[in-house]
């Protein structure tokens, strides 16, 4: 594992008088996983927006494998291998699970060029293999609108892998899931990380998810990194407990 797969150095972003990011710095090694936690409004989404080219920072940099990604437009950041999954499912209602996978594989094969993607014949065998590996083979021919919430979310995560993304940014991937779906998502994230080597940053509020994913945590507070550490270290930190966790998680 190298320490400099993703380097975030002094990112700042303000909206008028609201200082959403006030010098955020941390790094993620190749094939690393970290969870970002923190109260509403602490800057988590703004950080993801900067890392995906939706917003340019006021100052500071983010680099992926030594290439600056902060300040590039979203298309260029995506071409460098940064993929994002939003909190709500973004599947296409009328397409089957298989068709979703084929589109994602086509996007990888064509470098994301839509006109080529539309003419690309999908790779059914590779799609099926990926679905089987993720435990989703039984849904291959189901229409997305008929899928349970948790399956839609896992399909979208798998599509990021099919697109060949090197860094997955997952924004509350288990929101609205049952405990069983949440555990299946944890298993999928771990399996993706181990088998593809994709690095993963996850924003989550669900501390049971965070504990079970068992990865290093970054606690954000008012646009800054308040603490980095393991679940147990963070949970025991008096500052984190008083500012975010409260005594429920003691």
Ligand X SMILES: Nc1ncnc2c1ncn2[C@@H]1O[C@H](COP(=O)(O)OP(=O)(O)OP(=O)(O)O)[C@@H](O)[C@H]1O
Residues in contact with ligand X by the rule CB under 6 A: 15, 18, 20, 38, 40-46
Minimum CB separation from ligand X for residue 215, in Å? Answer: 19
* Closest CB to ligand X among residues 18, 214: 18
* Closest CB to ligand X among residues 40, 180: 40
* Closest CB to ligand X among residues 42, 159: 42
Minimum CB separation from ligand X for residue 102, in Å? Answer: 32
DSSP 134-192: TT-GGGTTSBGGGS-HHHHHHHHHHHHHHTT-SEEEEESTTTT--HHHHHHHHHHHHHH
* Closest CB to ligand X among residues 19, 190: 19
Report d(CA 152, CA 100) in Å as an integer: 11
Determine the distance from the C-alpha atom of residue 190 to the mean position of all C-alpha atoms in its chain, rounded to a whole number: 13
Report d(CA 177, CA 149) in Å as an integer: 7
Minimum CB separation from ligand X for residue 38, in Å? Answer: 6
Minimum CB separation from ligand X for residue 87, in Å? Answer: 8
Minimum CB separation from ligand X for residue 205, in Å? Answer: 7
Q: Which two tokens stand for residue 78?
A: 């995506």
* Closest CB to ligand X among residues 144, 207: 207
Minimum CB separation from ligand X for residue 42, in Å? Answer: 4
Most distant pair of Cα atoms in the chain: their distance: 57
* Closest CB to ligand X among residues 42, 136: 42
């Amino acid at each position: 594992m190298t320490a400099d797969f993703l380097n975030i150095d002094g990112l700042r972003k303000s909206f008028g008088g609201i200082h959403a990011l006030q010098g955020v710095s941390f790094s993620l090694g190749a094939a690393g996983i970290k969870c970002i936690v923190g109260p509403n409004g602490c800057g988590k989404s703004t950080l993801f927006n900067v890392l995906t080219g939706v917003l340019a920072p006021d100052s500071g940099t983010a680099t992926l494998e030594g290439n600056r990604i902060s300040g590039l437009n979203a298309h260029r950041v995506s071409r460098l291998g940064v993929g994002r999954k939003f909190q709500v499912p973004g599947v296409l209602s009328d397409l089957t699970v298989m068709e979703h996978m084929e589109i994602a594989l086509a996007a990888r094969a064509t470098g994301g060029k839509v006109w080529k993607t539309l003419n690309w014949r999908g790779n059914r065998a590779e799609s099926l293999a990926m679905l089987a590996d993720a435990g989703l083979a039984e849904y291959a021919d189901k229409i997305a609108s008929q899928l349970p919430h948790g399956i839609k979310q896992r399909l979208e995560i798998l599509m990021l892998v099919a697109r060949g993304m090197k860094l997955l940014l997952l924004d509350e991937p288990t929101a609205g899931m049952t405990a069983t779906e949440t555990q299946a998502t944890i298993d999928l994230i771990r399996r993706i990380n181990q088998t593809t080597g994709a690095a993963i940053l996850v924003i989550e509020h669900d501390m049971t998810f965070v504990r079970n994913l068992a990865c290093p945590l970054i606690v954000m507070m008012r646009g800054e990194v308040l603490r980095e550490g393991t679940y147990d270290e963070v949970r025991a930190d008096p500052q984190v407990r008083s500012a975010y966790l409260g005594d429920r998680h003691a």
